[in-house]
């Protein structure tokens, strides 16, 4: 387990990277162009890293999945003069949400000591189970109905009051069906699984369990926050397309092995998240506000999951131009 403690100046600089990405994306909120939203955020975050005193390597990023020219796996970030860090990044989780001016779009990155993050390699998707620390007995090897009965017992509530978040994709229909058959409430969401996952990990969040197959980069960067929040997480590689399956087999990746939190992030990790649009992004019951642009300035609303200090909410105003 690798320890990591960042000083206040570096925490502030890393938060500025997600703030910069969110502000850049906010100029295109409602544009209908999710590619332009993503490009603006990627460029702004990459520029912000040019001024950060770190020697960082992107472990999971935009990469081949999003055909991005920057923030790809293996890219070096920072001035090269600071601590060696791993970076897991998604400049905008929920590009469609931002493009259509819908709630829940966020700019997010996680950092950990060099070598700490799990590298999913050529696999773009993970099967994920995320819940509060009270659900540590839950696992992907168990049927969902059994997991829900265990969680209800741990939380001291009937199954009918459990709230299960499932992303609305054909690949996830069976999870929603099984949760409903067990008697739980299903909370469907279309895009952006980082915020719902972290809400599930927080003891005071409004989601009790997130289950299903979603992005591998998002799963890895979420792991740092789950650890910081004292939550529970398991994951399993879940390639979805023929080319992805072939690449996974060629790389010797196992789709049977279940990864626990200690394998997803081996030690302390920090997560930085800034809301692009309004949404219930916080694990403490708070609601983050999207970027508010005014005459010559923009206000951002963010939170930092710090392994030593817990969840820190930060609202700041920035000059534009």
pTM above 0.85, yes or no: yes
Degrees, nearest 5: CA angle 13-18-19 = 85
Q: What pLDDT is stored for residue 249 in this prediction?
A: 80
Kindly state the tokens that stand for 33: 């162009």
| Distance (Å, whole) CA 276 – CA 48 | 17
At 240 the pLDDT is 86
- With contact defined as beta carbons under 8 Å apart, do 90 and 65 qualify? no
* pLDDT recorded at residue 68: 53
Contact 108, 272 (CB under 8 A): yes
Q: What is the CA angle 175-179-181, rounded to 5?
A: 115
- 121: region left, alpha or beta (phi > 0 left; psi from -120 to 50 alpha): left
Give the per-residue pLDDT at 106: 93
Q: What is the pLDDT of residue 176?
A: 97
Q: What is the pLDDT of residue 63?
A: 53
User: What residue ranges define each of the domains in the chain, with the CATH number in brackets?
Assistant: 8-117+269-319 (3.30.540.10), 125-264 (3.40.190.90)
Q: Supply the pLDDT for residue 194.
A: 87
Longest CA span, the chain: 55
Joined tokens for residue 160: 């009918």
- Local mean pLDDT, 10-residue blocks, the chain (321 residues): 85 97 97 94 94 92 58 87 91 92 92 90 90 94 96 96 95 97 94 87 87 92 90 93 80 86 91 89 68 94 89 92 74
């Amino acid at each position: 387990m690798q320890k990591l403690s960042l000083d206040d100046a570096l925490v502030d600089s890393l938060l500025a990277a997600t703030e910069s990405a969110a502000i850049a994306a906010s100029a295109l909120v409602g544009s209908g162009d999710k590619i332009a939203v993503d490009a603006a955020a990627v460029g702004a975050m990459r520029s912000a890293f040019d001024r950060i005193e770190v020697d960082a390597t992107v472990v999971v990023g935009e990469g081949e999945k999003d055909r991005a020219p920057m923030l790809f796996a293996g890219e070096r970030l920072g001035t090269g003069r600071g601590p060696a860090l791993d970076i897991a990044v998604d400049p905008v989780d929920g590009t469609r949400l931002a493009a259509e001016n819908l709630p829940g779009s966020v700019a997010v990155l996680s950092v950990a000591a060099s070598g700490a993050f799990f590298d999913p390699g050529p696999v773009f998707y993970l099967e994920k189970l995320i819940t509060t620390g009270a659900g540590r007995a839950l696992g992907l090897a168990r049927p969902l109905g059994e997991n829900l009965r265990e969680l209800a017992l741990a939380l001291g509530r009937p199954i009918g009051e459990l709230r299960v978040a499932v992303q609305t994709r054909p690949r996830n229909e069976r999870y929603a069906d099984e949760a409903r058959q067990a008697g739980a409430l299903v909370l469907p969401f279309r895009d952006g699984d980082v915020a719902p996952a972290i809400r599930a990990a927080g003891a005071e969040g409004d989601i009790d369990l997130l289950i299903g197959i979603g992005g591998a980069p998002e799963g890895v960067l979420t792991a740092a926050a789950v650890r910081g929040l004292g939550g529970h997480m398991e994951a399993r590689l879940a390639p979805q397309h023929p080319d992805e399956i072939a690449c996974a087999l060629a790389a010797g990746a196992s789709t049977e092995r279940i990864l626990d939190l200690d394998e997803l992030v081996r030690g302390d990790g920090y997560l930085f998240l800034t809301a692009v649009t309004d949404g219930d992004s916080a694990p403490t019951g708070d609601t983050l506000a999207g970027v508010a642009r005014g005459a010559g300035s923009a206000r951002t609303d963010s939170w930092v999951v710090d392994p030593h200090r817990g969840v820190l909410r930060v609202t700041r105003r920035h000059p534009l131009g």
